[in-house]
C-alpha cells in the first residue's frame, strides 16, 4: 500500500540535472539555481557586480542592442546543450525555449511588447546531418511562451564552415564573417535572435549585422547559455 501511495505522490520522470523526481525536464530547484547574479546588459557576460557594460562592450559595442542568457555554459548546465544538440531531443529544446521566454519576460520587460523571433540558422549540410536546428526549437518555445511571431526563413546561412566550437577564439570571427543573409524586413523591425550558446559572440554579431542591413531597427539576443569569462590565473 505504501509503495502505491508513493507512486501516486511522486511525479513521473526525473530532473535532467539533479536526477530528482520531476514532472518537468528540470525540477523547480534547478530552474532557480542559476549562477550569475549580474550580467553585462549588452552581451550577457557574467560580471562580478552591477555595471552598464563589460570591459569589451565598453570599448566596442556589438551590433545587437542587448543580450539575455538563462545561465552559464558550465557544469552541470552544459549537459542541457548536449541533450538538445546531440541527443536528438527537440522537445527538450522547445521546453527550454519556454523557460528562456519566462526569463526574458521577468528580466527584460522593456524588450516587449512584441518582436520577430529568429533562430540563428544552421547550414543546409549541418541541418541535414542533425535533422533539426536546436536554435529553431528554442525559438519556437520562446515565441510560444511570449506569443510573439517566429520565422526561421528570415535569416539564412549562405555558406558553411567548421563549427565555431572546434576553432580557437582568434579564428572564429573570420569563420562566420559574411556567413548570413536576411530577407528584406519592414523598416525598423524589432528582432530577437535566439541561439543555444554564445562564447565569442562572433556568430551573433554577424547574424545581427545581416538583419540590420535587411532593414531591422533593433536586434536583441537571447541565448540559453553564455560561456563565462576565463578564470584569472594567480
- 176 in any annotated domain: yes
Indicate if 102 and 7 belong to the same structural domain.
no
**Do residues 73 and 199 lie in contact, with contact meaning Cβ atoms separated by under 8 Å?**
yes
Q: Is residue 68 a contact partner of residue 223, using CB atoms and an 8 Å limit?
A: yes
pLDDT interval class at 2 (50, 70, 90): very low
Model confidence at 233, pLDDT cuts 50, 70, 90, reads: low
Same domain, 19 and 109: no
Nearest to 18 by CA among 39, 4, 32, 38: 32
Q: Compute the distance between CA of residue 109 and CA of residue 120 in angstroms, rounded to an integer.
A: 22
pLDDT score, position 126: 86
Q: Is the pLDDT of residue 6 over 50?
A: no
Residues 24 and 42 in one domain: no
Spatial CA neighbour of 65 closest among 192, 210, 196, 228: 192
Q: Residue 33, exposed/middle/buried by CB under 10 A (0-12, 13-18, 19+)? A: middle
CATH code of residue 119: 3.40.50
Considering only residues 143 and 1, tell me which one the structure prediction assigns the higher pLDDT.
143
Q: For the residues of 120-131, what is the DSSP string, one character each?
A: PPPPHHHHHHHS
Domain count, the chain: 2
Same domain, residue pair 20 and 66: no
pLDDT reading at 24 higher than 60: yes
The predicted model gives 209-218 an average pLDDT of: 97
Beta strands (DSSP E) in the chain are: 38-39, 46-47, 67-72, 116-119, 155-157, 180-182, 189-198, 216-226
- In-domain check, residue 233: no
Would the pLDDT of 9 be above 50? no
Domain check: are 112 and 196 in the same one?
A: yes
Domain presence at residue 232: no
* 13 occurs within a structural domain: yes
User: Would you say residue 198 lies in a domain?
Assistant: yes
Residues recorded for the chain: 234
Residue 234 located in a structural domain: no
Same domain, 95 and 116: yes
Same domain, 7 and 68: no
In this structure, the answer to whether residues 133 and 215 fall within a common structural domain is yes
List, for residues 29-40, the tens digit of each pLDDT value. 999 888 778 999
Per-residue CA distances from 8 to 29, 124, 144 (Å): 21, 46, 31
Q: What's the confidence (pLDDT) of residue 158?
A: 86
Residues 164 and 116 in one domain: yes
Report pLDDT for 178. 75
- DSSP notation for 54-68: -HHHHHS--SSS-EE
Q: State the Cα–Cα distance between residues 219 and 64, nearest whole angstrom.
A: 5
**Does the residue 14 lie in any domain?**
yes
Angstrom distance (rounded) from CA 183 to CA 209: 12
- 146-201 pLDDT, tens digit per residue, is 999 999 999 999 877 666 666 666 556 666 777 899 999 999 999 999 999 999 99
Q: Say yes or no: 77 and 47 in one domain.
A: yes
In a domain, 8, yes or no: yes
Range of the domain at 27: 1-33
pLDDT per position as a tens digit, 115-160: 999 999 998 888 988 899 999 999 999 999 999 999 999 999 987 7
User: Does 18 lie in the same domain as 41?
Assistant: no
Rounded to whole angstroms, how far apart are CA atoms 175 and 178? 9
Amino acid at each position: 500500500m505504501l509503495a502505491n501511495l508513493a507512486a501516486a505522490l511522486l511525479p513521473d520522470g526525473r530532473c535532467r540535472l539533479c536526477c530528482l523526481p520531476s514532472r518537468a525536464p528540470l525540477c523547480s530547484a534547478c530552474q532557480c539555481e542559476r549562477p550569475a547574479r549580474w550580467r553585462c546588459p549588452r552581451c550577457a557576460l557574467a560580471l562580478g557586480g552591477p555595471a552598464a557594460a563589460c570591459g569589451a562592450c565598453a570599448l566596442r559595442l556589438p551590433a545587437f542592442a542587448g543580450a539575455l542568457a538563462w545561465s552559464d555554459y558550465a557544469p552541470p548546465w552544459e549537459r542541457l546543450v548536449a541533450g538538445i544538440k546531440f541527443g536528438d531531443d527537440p522537445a527538450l529544446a522547445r521546453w527550454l525555449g519556454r523557460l528562456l521566454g519566462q526569463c526574458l519576460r521577468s528580466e527584460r520587460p522593456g524588450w516587449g511588447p512584441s518582436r520577430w523571433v529568429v533562430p540563428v540558422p544552421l547550414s543546409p549540410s549541418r541541418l541535414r546531418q542533425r535533422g533539426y536546428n536546436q536554435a529553431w526549437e528554442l525559438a519556437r518555445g520562446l515565441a510560444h511562451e511570449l506569443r510573439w511571431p517566429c520565422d526561421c526563413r528570415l535569416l539564412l546561412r549562405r555558406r558553411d564552415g567548421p563549427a565555431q566550437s572546434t576553432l580557437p577564439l582568434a579564428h572564429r570571427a573570420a569563420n562566420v564573417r559574411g556567413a548570413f543573409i536576411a530577407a528584406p524586413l519592414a523598416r525598423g523591425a524589432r528582432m530577437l535572435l535566439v541561439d543555444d550558446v554564445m562564447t565569442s559572440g562572433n556568430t551573433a554579431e554577424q547574424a545581427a549585422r545581416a538583419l540590420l542591413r535587411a532593414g531591422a531597427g533593433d536586434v536583441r539576443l537571447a541565448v540559453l547559455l553564455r560561456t563565462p569569462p576565463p578564470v584569472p590565473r594567480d
